[in-house]
Amino acid sequence: MTTTIYDTGRLYSAFLSLPTELRCEIYDYLIVDSQSITVGAGYVTVFGNRILDRARKHDILGLPLDLVPLVRQTRDASLLSVATPPEIAIDDGSLDKVGHYNSALGMPAPLALQLTCRQISDEMTDYMRRRKLTKIALAQSASPSNTNESFPEGDEEGLSLYVTYPYGVLVLKEMYPYLLKQARRVYISGHYTTPKTSPLGSPTSSHSSFSSEDEGLTPSSSFAVAESFGAIPAGRPHRAHHTVRRSSPYPIRPRLRLSPPPPRTQRQISDSFPVFNAHTNDLAPQALTLLIRTLFPPTPTQCTLLSARILYPGDNAYSSVWSDNNSPITHVLRNVCGGKIDMQVMRGDAGTGLILSARPKPDGRIVSTSWENWRREGVRGRGLGVRELDGFLVGSGEGK
């Protein structure tokens, strides 16, 4: 066995020959530079028909065979859409076109520079640490009353990572795990339909929507009277002297409920936001848990923001947000180790949307939640449809 011995005296690095101050300026330029990457999955089609890719180059557990991983070096809204998922047409019969979409993705510039040698890695790590402490001090001095705010709101430097759920999370775990250590902002977008409930538009689903008092929706023209301490029981005959009880501190309160979407809209929503298969439904929460623990460990990282937009389609979907063991929001809340978490719950007649934002706070954990009615703006008498639900995931602002 031959061992090659390098003469370190003859090795020359033009970059290391630069003054330290100039190298720090280069580090600062690489860190400040903004970059966006979108990770998702798309369908492979031949003459408009979806096919199964059984000769996959990368075996990704949980990703169905009719989907292939897709990565874009920008924020690609088409990868975030669920109602109109991305497709790759290979009508010429060549699967090389699929690999062409992902071959151009390389390492982020800061990571590539850190991997060159140990000295550069140590210098860059120390520079990023000191720069982070300086930004935290400036942010706290700008708002002395708010000591928990570590980073300014308009911080757009560094890598922004857009990941779809569940398929983008699975692709990120298997193919690009190194991106999580470099990402400063991570945006997760996807939907979840619990397999325990009946599909939308089915007779059992329609029956349950009217039979449940807590989650059911009745026609908007009807008023369900809530029985209170001052209400007259239904089985007791009405008498004249009972009318004086209207002055009771517990009056009869009418309860107005929203009407469910029409059957045609229910079928469209069910087709656009289907239930995941059992394999995906089991592995996606595990990949999401690993993602959250990487971004929010006990020790601080460079991640400044985690944002999640999760849609739960269906008129009775609110209960599955918190009670389903595979609900993505519950996995996010359980695995954020310290942070300032803000949640906005939007309840509508066709589904429940939840927007979660988490910022690092190593010394504690604060969770705030707000609820609001989710209705379609500008159109009276029309509820949410597929367009509004999909616009919520893409982040276009429709249906808010």
Least confident of 43-57, 61-75, 113-127, 173-187: 43-57
Can you tell me the distance from the alpha carbon of 183 to that of 185, in angstroms, rounded to the nearest whole number? 6
- pLDDT over threshold 90, residue 165: yes
Residue-level pLDDT at 396: 55
Tell me whether strands 351-359 and 305-313 are parallel, antiparallel or unpaired: antiparallel
More confident residue, 352 or 6: 352
Q: What does the pLDDT average to over 313-341?
A: 90
Q: Where are the alpha helices (DSSP H) in 64-175?
A: 77-80, 96-100, 109-114, 118-142, 167-175
Residue-level pLDDT at 341: 94
Can you tell me the distance from the alpha carbon of 179 to that of 138, in angstroms, rounded to the nearest whole number? 27
- pLDDT over threshold 80, residue 328: yes
Per-residue exposure over 218-249, b if at least 16 CB sit within 10 Å of its own CB, e if not: beeeeeeeeeeeeeeeeeeeeeeeeeeeeeee
Q: Could you tell me the end-to-end alpha-carbon distance of the chain, in angstroms, rounded to an integer?
A: 68
| Tokens of residue 116, six digits | 């060159």
Can you tell me the distance from the alpha carbon of 162 to that of 39, in angstroms, rounded to the nearest whole number? 6
- pLDDT over threshold 90, residue 192: yes
- The per-residue pLDDT of the chain, averaged, comes to 77
Span 97-144, pLDDT tens digits: 555 555 557 778 888 888 888 889 899 888 888 887 887 788 778 766
Residue-level pLDDT at 283: 95
Please count the other Cβ atoms lying within 10 Å of the Cβ belonging to residue 62. 21
- pLDDT over threshold 90, residue 315: no
Instruction: Indicate the pTM of the whole model.
Output: 0.75
Can you tell me the distance from the alpha carbon of 156 to that of 380, in angstroms, rounded to the nearest whole number? 38
Give the list of residues 6+ apart from residue 177 with CB closer than 8 angstroms, or none.
none
Residue-level pLDDT at 116: 85
| Percent of the chain whose pLDDT exceeds 90 | 28
Backbone angles phi, psi at 20, to 5 degrees: -60, -40
Q: Is 291 helix (H, G, I), strand (E, B) or coil?
A: helix
Can you tell me the distance from the alpha carbon of 82 to that of 168, in angstroms, rounded to the nearest whole number? 12
Span 263-294, pLDDT tens digits: 666 777 877 888 899 999 999 999 999 999 99
More confident residue, 341 or 256: 341
Is residue 249 very low, low, confident or very high in pLDDT (cuts 50, 70, 90)? Answer: low
More confident residue, 169 or 363: 169
